[in-house]
Structures are given as structure tokens and as C-alpha cells.
Structure 1
């Protein structure tokens, strides 16, 4: 038997914090060596942090990476263990995203990434070039100070693998696993047994299964030991990297790390029999035939052994009982944003969070996520995590010898919630906000802002001689909208004032971060006031749909212990910005003119499936054709695109949000589109009208041709309909 022990890592790196990153790397190597591993794999670009973005364009960033690598190589960190480090490398006139493979204080080879991630949240082609010479490796001249320090002048640079005395090892970097022709296919035919995938993969709801299926598929038919390492945590931006480092052998997951954790370093160990890979490959006739005519991949010879001889001291890692550990979407909403908030809080220097809590679904979801964060912190302290304990003592400003032991007590120290009521607010939402605050433990404030609104309206009347009225009182749409926006914007001003001054009131140092609470569907529709309390420092739910949030509220009412969330979820969504009358109650879906379910469909078609107005109409004719006429579908599509384009400018100032949904309309990083549109869409809407006429004409013709088979008529527009959707009220959103 050829036994090998390998270690792969979840590391919570921070872009441009080289001291933090180097400390985590060294810690992971120590743990790997202590466990007896002979291979240690870290995440993509772990030395700099993955999220440096335009800092990668600075020569300093590359120089500092080499300085950190030199520090590692000058000491005994790589003695007896193959370590793969992610960092940027400049070769000639090009900058590459590389894995630097080191052992015994030498660099064995540098493997540049050949397929770069350049869609969605990723812009690697902005900072790096891809290595295109997959049939060769070149000699790379090491920087002079590195060469002098480790007595090594050159190193093989390019695509290839390493031949050790007892096994073969190769790198496959993040995106390369998911491309149509992944490197591991040819590498396996060349006899590579161990694949090391260094990754910077962010969390997105329901994404983990796709990733895990790719690891399993990579080795299920070809055989192999597949190591996956990932960043974990917030490294300074909107993304949360969700770890889940794992080891897969011949299609079986034998070891897996956590997906959500407050730990800075997590090392996953697996003990593997490499002969099992050989056995699987030799049992496949087709694999052997393809291997006999393989395309040769360059390689480097390393005169070291990585395997151990047969022994019974430690069992071989067996397949996990479950295929892999996967959280429900409701749990992902709780855990991912909670971990992201904790990283942001401890690294920003803030003393806590402040949330305008209305008692509605969105702000209550944010409050519950902060409560979950407090629970996680107390749990990790109980489990003995000294780093979490130290951060919690500092942020909570505990006296000597004290530290958090109860999540509600901790929440009282670091979390303010504020109900900012007006004459339009109901007692029901007010009491729901107070009840939830009590369950979480936040320091809750209740303030009426009518006097501030009245002062502004009095000032307006002094300036203009007019006083606006609500629509229910006979006012125009402009008056109605203006009155609602005044309330919303005052809440934003008050929230920031309280966040900066309440610590002072309580004799605390520092400041609080204001949390936003608009969801992805409202942002897509533009159903929010520009610079209202949706404008905040950060927003943990800004990329989560209303449908998912409501499922989360039901889950959290039970699993987080906040029972009042059940009543919050059951209540119809309302902004409570208009007067309540016996014959009128303001409802979000009526104001928007579309349901939240509709918005999720529009959002996915617009972004994920890249549908413009015309193709969205034709698509929905198939989806909704059994419950809506083509004319009704056309009106819904035109209505959506009208208000989407009218309100697109709001995305330019959208609060930075945790990225969780692939149809996010976030303008600054993810959804790069214009913000000035012709909201009439004359060309596209005309094409839709022409299609409606054609479909209606075809239906009339179909009826006249075959009156005995009326069921065929509906088939002209498809029969794949979903549940009926309302046409909505054409009131203007804000």
C-alpha cells in the first residue's frame, strides 16, 4: 500500500493584510505537519488575499507576496511537506495568478492559472493574463533577493505536474475545474494521482451542491485524490467565501471542513491509499485505451517521497456517511451573513450595529441574523476559540476577566434596534419590533418622528405656500410620494446620528455600523426611497429574495428561538408610509403592481437567463400561458421593464450587500448595466405587441380549423404554466 496523508485548509484571509495572511498560513502548515501530512494546500491567492482587486495592479502587492514567501522558505515550514501557496507572479511583461509549489525550502515549480474567472463577481482578466502555453514549461528567473536567500536561481514555470519518487501531483486552480475541458482530464491520463485545487469561491444560496458534484465527478470515472482548499470569511468586500475544503477519493468525499465558521484557520486531514486509485484506473478499459494515446503534459521531477509504507497506526479515511454536508437555504441565510457581519464588525473597528427595526419581514430578518451572529460568537467562545473570545471582549468592551457567556447579554452590548414610528405606523408592528428585540437582547429604542416631519412640512409651506396631502386625503401622486419619502429619509438621518452618538451616550468608545434591510426583489423593482433607511453602511440581505426571507423567518422562529418571527412572517408586507383608513391599508405588492414571486421570476430571467423584454415575453408565454393570455403577459413584462428602468439609477447608490443570489441587480460589482434608460422601450415593446397580435391571430385560425379540439388552442402559447399571478395595481413605487 502507498499511504499518504494530505491537508487542505479553510483560511480567513484579509485582502492586503499580509501579517494576518502569513500568520494564518503558518498556523495551517503547523497543524498539517503536526497531523503527519506530507501535502498542504492553501486557498487561491492566499498570501495577498483573493479580493485585492485593483491592488493587484500595484507592484507593491507582488513584491510583498514574494517577501512573505521568502519568510516561509527561510525557516523550516516546508521541511518534509509539499506546500502550495497562492500568489500573483510577474513573468516578463505579464502578471499571472499562480500556485507556487514548495518543499524542503525550495520552489519546485510555479503553476500559472490557464483559465481565468471573468464573469459574475469575478474580474480576473482585469488583473491577470492566462497562461496559454499548455505544451511547455519555461525557466522563470526568481527575483534576486529570493534567489540569494534560498540559493535557487530559476524554477520551472507553466502548465504541468510534478513526478515524485512514489506519486504524481498537479495543481488545478478554481475556475479550471468548471471549464468545458478541465485540466484534470488530461492530467489523469498522464498518470497524475493527486490534484490540488486552490480556490476563491464565494457563497451563494444553493451553490455548494454544484461545487461538490464537480469534485466528485472529477474523480469518479478517472480516479484520483482531489484536494480542494477555499477562502472562508469576508476578506474586505461584498462576498463571503464559504470554505468547505474537502478531500475526494475516487468519487467519494472522505473529509470535509465547515461551510460557515468564525475560525480563522481550519485544516482538513485525510489518510488515503493511493493504490486504490491505480486499481480503479486499471479496471477501466476505456481509460487505459485513452491513456495509451494521451497528449503528453510537461512535468518536473522531484527526488522526494510523499508516501508512507504500510502500517496500522491510523485508519484510512472512509467515505463520509452522507454524500456531503449541505445546509438548507434557510440555514445558509442565517449562517453566511452572520459570519460575514462578524468579520466586518471585528475588522472595521466598529463597536456594534444599529438597525432601524420596523417590525416587518426585512428588518426582522436582519435583526435575527445579528442575533444568530451573537449566538455563534458565544458558541465559539464556549468551544475554546481564543481569537473569537479576544475579539468579543474588545468589541463588547468587557471589563477585565469578563467575556460573553450569553448571546442576549452580548447583543445588549453591541446591537441597537430602533423603531422609528409615525402617525402611519400601527401598534402591531411596533409591538412586534419590541418583542423581537427582547428575544434577541438588543438595546431597543422607540422614537416618534412626527415632530421632525411636521417641522419639514412647515418649512416647505413657508417656502411655497402649499402643504402636500396624501392620496387617500385627496392629494396627487407627487404629493403622496413626497410625503412618504420624507418619512423614509428622516429615518436614515436619525439612524446615522444614533449610530455615531449612542456609544457616547453610554460612555462607550467607537461607533456603530448602520445596517440596511432592503431585499433583492425590492432593489430590482426600485421599490425603495433613494437615501432612505435602505441606505446604510452594509446590508446582509440585499441579495436575498423575499420568498427566501420568509422561509428563513419560519425557520428562525424555531431554530434560533425567536418565536415572534412567526407572526412577522404571517403579516402582509407593508411600508406603513401612508395613513391607515378603515377602507385602505398600504400593501407592498399593491404599491409595486406585482408580486414578490413575479419579481423573482423577472429577476432570474433578466440576469441569469439574459432575457431582454421580447425574449422574456416569449419565455413567459410558455411558463404562464395556461393561466394568462398573451396580452396579459405582455402588459406584465412591459410594466416590469418600465419601472425597472425608471428606478435603475437607485442601484448606483445601493448599500453594499452580502452577495447571495445570482440575479442581484447590484450595480457596482455584479450587474454592470447603464442607469439611464428610455423607459418606454419603444422598439422592444413594439415587437412584443406584434407578437401578441400574431399569437392571437394564430389562435383564431386554430379555432376555425379545428373547432372540435379546443384544447389545442392553449398549446399555441405553451402549457408549462405556473401558479396564477395577479396583474397588480399600477400605482407608482418609490
Structure 2
């Protein structure tokens, strides 16, 4: 899977002794060996780890500076045939100034040296006593006894396509405009930070926020390697924190205060980062402010392997895995939906809403949004016209849940049986009602929508749509039937998230009777109930038996639209996420169904009603997704 452009990276904290270069080098080598055993391609070490960070005035001693230089050379030689890019911290004595640097080493050669830009001199830090800032150094080269003409400066990018690596040092991240911002705009998609950040109460939380936020702002992977407990504890203590983030997500971290060598690794995804940058116009435009022309140092990894694919891939990318975060997400989405509907009602001057209630998940969520909105605006719930429209396939379970929910929420409940009207329509158009084809199904959907629209006219109300994002993606709606409404509150909520939203309202915002109804609705199979029920009055038409599991389609949708991934990459990630639940042939089958339906059903999305965007994926033709209705899917499915 080399063409998928994954890479394994590492952040390391070796055990160190203050000013003991030989001891430190031995542990750095050990960390390199650990990383290479896992097919790591980049390893980032802490700031000044060759000497240790807390040497104080010993940094002015020629003996220590010479030892550090020899230590760098020893690592350079050790790196031969290792096939790992090494970023290690050491002082550089140059032209009567000492720089705090990242030495970037690969396969027996120093590719470049990056100096620290921002030298802290406040509170417990007083680095300006020893070190000179390198923030103005660009287009420069230096000679060392063992290698000449080495690129030196803050303008260096280390490139092995499609990976571009940039490096900054500790305080650089804390500055107003970190060097990593310029490095990312110049092309770096993986940033390494060699750090020596001491521990005080709550500083770790702030540090994690900085790393995560900077990776998001730069649309990059960000590796942070902090120095550990082997540093001097004369005045401060270091915890050896190691962090790896990608585009705002923390994907690996260690436990601080360990007393052995520490190496954490993770797989990062260059394609995902690069595709996000293509989409983001602001990122591209900001590139013009980079104050220097990047010098790209080209090299090539000998192999593109990354070991086992141990990166966690969420099965439900729209749904937070953490329960607390999930509750917060549901509360926020529910608030967005209600705020949107409240604005639309205020703008139109209408004080009534009309909604068809089937006893299914989507119409239930839409009704809950309407009720919350009416409560917010101070409108009486009796001005919510809830209509159940039983037809040929309506079962007792869905019917009873619809009736009980509407009455329990104190809405103005109506029942309109559509069977007679549909039979008359079959007669009018010459359709045999015994033929249960798409005409049979769509007549029912359009009859229901016609009734709702006319009731809205009669009562000066707004028809609220119930369809969700997953149905929009698959085109699982009847054109000018349930496809149409006057405002669609669920249009950017995927099916996997609808369940959690309904459960959230049941558990957090409902009294017991309502909660019990909602929980039974949650346990009901997803169905349009357009085909006749069986002799036992049970559901015969289950949506997921026809189009496939919604959890798979939501997974495909997220990576197809949000990340712009190819079918091959989506299938690869689906195999990782659903390992043990679905076989690859099953995943491939439903992915093909998703792609075909996504392309062929665009004409429905081109004519959808207004509705609020609530998450990172929306298919509104007026904003997020603009696609011709006659685009071919052949390019995506050929040879797949």
C-alpha cells in the first residue's frame, strides 16, 4: 500500500545525564534502534539532548562544545544504512556565537542544521546568556570538521516526496508566529519540535493544546519531543512529554516522568494533509507572506514500509468515541438545529409547523427539534401540526410510537390514511397496485408530501423536512416526495449521529414516558414502510438490506467528501476500522453501491430545500458540495 502515502514517525526521550555526551549518545542510539525496528522513517529527539538542556554556563566551555560536535559526528556515522531521518538537538559553536540547533541527519550525512529562532529569557529561562537567535539566518551554509557545505538556517525543508519535513525548537512554538507556520506554508506537512519544556501545574494541558492547535492551523502532522527527568532538578523538573498530533487530533502521547528511554510512534497520512490544503483557499493564499524562499533538501527513503497499520480508525467518524464529548456534540448540534429553525420561523412570520411523523428516527429527531424551537420562542406546542400518514406498509409498532410521541409532546395531532388516495392515483395513471415497483413506492411518498404541503398552506405553517445527510448522499428519497419540504433541519446530520441525538434527548431532556417511546423508536429497524407488511403485521422492507449498512455509508461519505480520498484508500481504511465485523468483499460491494448512488443521485441534491450545516460534511448545492448532476462515476470505479 505504498501509494497510499502513510509514514511512521516517532518522538523520543532518551535517558540523559547533564553534560555527559557519551552517555547521552548511547541512549539516543538505543532509541534510534527501537524506532527502526518498527520501520519508522522520522525520529525527533529533545532539544540539546546530546549535551542535555540544563548545562548552564557549561555551554560556554569549549570542552563541552567540542564533545557535542563529536557526538553529532558519531550519530552521523551511526545513521548509515538506517533509513530513518533523525532530528537531534545539540549546540553549534559558530563564528563566536553558539546556536541551539536541530541537526537533521540521514544515512551518514547531515542534511541540514536548523537554529532556534526564539531564545527565551524570562521567568525560569535565561537562554540568551549562552545562545544566539537564528531567526534571521537563511540561505547560509556552514563547514564542520567532518562535513563541509552543510545547509544552515530557518528556511530548510527536507523532502522525500510526498513528505516534507520542517523543524522548530521549543520556544518557537510558544511565539506569536511560530516558524512552523512559515514552514508549513512553504510546503512542510510534517513538523518536528525538539523541546525542553519544564513541568509546572497544568502546563502539560496547555502544551497539548498548543501542539494540537498548531497541527490544525498548519494542516500538518506535529511531533513534539520533550526532555526528561535526567535533566538537572536544581530549580525545575522536566517530564519528557512526547506528543504526535495530526491536523488537530492527538494521535499518540506518552506518560510523563518515565525513567527509561521512551519512544512513541504513529502513522501519519500525507495524502489527507495535502488534500485538506488543496481545499483550503486561505491556506494557499497565506503562502505569499512567508518571508523567505524555502531551500528544499531532497533525499529518498530506501523503503516506504511502515510496519503494521496500527493507527486507530474510527468506525463512526461523525460520532465522538468519548461519552462526554459525544454528549457535548449532541447538545451543540441540537442547539444549531433549533437556532436555525427559530430564525426561519421569525423571518417568515409563521408560528405553525407541519411535520409528517412515521415513528422512525429521522421524523422523530425533526419533531424534537421543532418542539425545542417552539419552547425557545414561546410558541404553544399545539401549533405544531403532527401528521401520521399510514399506508400499505405501516406497522403497528411504528404507528403506535408515532401516535404516542405526538400526543405525549402535546402537539396538534392528525391522522390521514393515504391508502384510498393512492389506490385512486394508481387507477388514474393506470398502474396495477399488485405490482410493487418504484411507482408503487413513490406514489405513497408524493401523496404524503402533497398532504403536508396543503395542510401547511391551509394553516399558515412551515413544512419541516425530516431527511438526513446519509439519505441525501445515497439519494434515498423520492424526488418531489420526502425529498421536498420548506425547511430541512436534519439535512447535515448523518444517520449514525441521528441515533445518538435521539438517545441524547431521551436520556438528558425527556421525562420517562417520552424517553420510553424514544428508546423503542431507536430499537426499530430503519424502514420506509412502502411495501405491504407481512401476515403478522411486521416490517418487510428494511432499508439497510437494500442499500447496505448506514454505518458503512457514513464512513464512506466522510472520507469521500471530507477527505477527498480515492476508493482504494477508503477501502483500506474501512478494512482497518471494521476488521472482524465485515469482510473485504462486503466492504467493496457496499462501497461500489455508495459511489454509484452518490453520483447518479446528485440531481436530487441539486434541488434540495434550505437547511442548516451542523458538521464538517454538508451536501448543500449552495455551499459545500457543487457537482454536476450528470458526472460519470466510471473514473472512480474502473479497475476498482
Task: Using structure 1 for the length normalisation, give the TM-score.
Answer: 0.41
Task: Using structure 2 for the length normalisation, give the TM-score.
Answer: 0.47
